[in-house]
Amino acid sequence: MHKVAIFLVIAAATGCSGGTTKVSTKSAPLEPGEVFWAKNQLAVQTELPGEARFQNFEIMALSNGDRVYCGEMNAMARSGIAEGFVPFYMRRSAGTVKAVNTGADSAEFSAKKCAEARNGALRINKV
């Protein structure tokens, strides 16, 4: 699963999907079923999904109908060492994950995208 995340980060950074578009964003309520689904999608990106911990979890609704999930995740390596809480960013469209960025390598990108979403506007790849 790490290869998928890395490809999505590269695709987002290079804009290989045909450019970007700007969407408006607003905070969305934390519905338990949606939060559970999103955390599971993020946790499976880690070596030990059952050990992933979350804090500052947020959901934002986009004007195009997509949803963005932001916060921090603490993943545990197989060695038993936690990497500490690191920003994550995930976007879904109609139940399909369109972008997922987790881990220290994409922390700066995730923090930037989440800040844009919190400020009410976000650039996303056109699909």
| pLDDT tens profile 72-90 | 999 998 888 888 999 999 9
Q: How many domains does the chain have?
A: 1
Domain ranges, residue 67? 2-125
How is residue 56 written in tokens? 């500052």
Mean pLDDT (the chain) is 87
96 - beta bridge partners? Answer: 93
- Strand bridging mode 121-125 / 96-101: unpaired
The pTM of the whole model exceeds 0.75: yes
